[in-house]
Structure 1
Amino acid sequence: MIYRGRFAPSPTGPLHAGSLLTALASYLDARANNGSWLLRIEDLDPPRTQPGAETSILKTLEAYGLEWDETVLRQSERLEIYREFCEQLLREKHAYHCQCSRSQLKARGAVKNYDGYCIQNPPNSGSPTAIRLRGGLSTPFDDRVQGVQQAEAVSDFTVFRRDGLFAYQLAVVVDDHLQNINQIVRGKDLLSETAKQGLLMQRLSFSQVTFYAHLPLILAEDGQKLSKQTLAQPVATTPDSIRTTLFKTLRLLGQEPPNHLIYNDLTDIHTWGIEHWNINKVPSDLSI
């Protein structure tokens, strides 16, 4: 099997330390396995997209020497593809229209586990509806960092929103399938979403084998994941800062770069990282 991995940032702000950790780990894992490393911009949610963020992310990756293969894929340009797969799910009775608002779900205690109201009471035609996938039992898998993840019951979940936007779950599964991605290295915050994505793969008859590695998160002072909402600072892009940041990120990933490497050029740091990459050394959590 030829390794095909990807890095898939959302353009909600500049690249910060947490997203750089994911980018570097996924890049090194791909290159150490003589694989391809693709770049996907997950810009499905226009209200969250920050003007100029995509350009900033691309320039930062280039400054850090993280060169991707193939053409950059943008989810905002693939809406008709997602629509076709939604229609397939509806035709095959794996999904159904749902008119429930969040306030209605909350009143019925069905926010976390949907109660099937719209299966028994189909919405009126012509009204805005979401599309929900019917739940089921997920497939267990052995995460390369977090260990064995047991099968779990997945409640019905949204693949198309009432506001007309496609859900992340649908887009990521479709894109990974169509891009032949078989190695997913990403943040631990998405570990809980993997069961839903696995179930969706089953319902769409996507048969490719996918291996997962969910990385530890760098947290803000309040214990939350670094993000635009936690005012995460963008990584610096001066030559000295790039070397220092790469060196520190390698250490956060459990790798053991020699002290002198921090003074070497970018090519030397990358070469060392690829030659010595060992995902078995990546910690499941960070103690910082």
Structure 2
Amino acid sequence: MKTVFLSEEEQPISIVKTDTCVMALGFFDGVHLGHRKVIQTASEIAKTKGLTTAVMTFFPHPKEVISDGKMKVDYLTSLAQKEDILSRLGVDCLYVVAFNRRFAMLSPEQFIERYVTKLGAKHVVAGFDFTYGYRGQGNMDRIAVDGKGAFSVTKVEKVALNGEKISSTLIRSLILAGEVDKVLAYLGNEYQIAGSLQFNQYEITFINRDNNLLPKPGAYHVSVYDGKETHSAIAHRRNHHNNILLQFTNSIAPFPENAWLTITWHKQFVQDKQKFREHMDVQIHQ
């Protein structure tokens, strides 16, 4: 899969080399099961039409730009994680559009002309609630008209579980409540974040390098993976800090300092606080 970065301020769309494609549109934070339905629909249509599959996403989150940076968004997936998932889903090309003030001012028609039609889209797929253009004035009911016949459209309806829409907002609420074990049913995989290790005198700290969303303060059963080996650990988030204290089963870190790692969150630690403190004391003083 190739990744192409686009910006209103840096790279004119007209010089981007493109293949005719079926394009899936969306922010896709988390690439959850609802998002995957959109992407898989695009992929299936691309196969029947003999076209490539493209996905367009945006960075940073529109809320950060529209709020002039006052609203900080912690992501379910970093761009690197998103690339990895989309590649495994069989996407041929990922377009990453810089969402900035200039981009936010584009009318719906301008967005479609510059970022959809000129990129060779012959068919567009998006969720029923996808919006585009200035203040989200464009939507899936008018996108074919804005495309002026250049492409056909498939609108993917709501994907739900037990009557509840699968959404990034729902998954965020579960993580923030510490209910990481419930995420699998909506996300399609257990929740993961990436970062590196830092050693202090008595502590092993995981640095949340990509500012992924973290669960509420507490202790959690996790797995830690470096690309080769996986080790079980207890992750303890203290007082809303952005970094995490790790305690491995044998108390000795099986990875070197600054190693780039992935943490998979399994379940909140349910032992009583006294037992957890005793466990931590034993590990620290071994």
Task: Please tell me the TM-score bracket, short chain as reference.
Answer: 0.3 to 0.5
Higher relative contact order (CA 8 A, sep 6+): 1
Per the normalisation by structure 2, the TM-score is 0.41
Higher Cα radius of gyration: 2
Question: Which one has the bigger helix percentage?
Answer: 1
Please identify which structure carries the higher strand content: 2
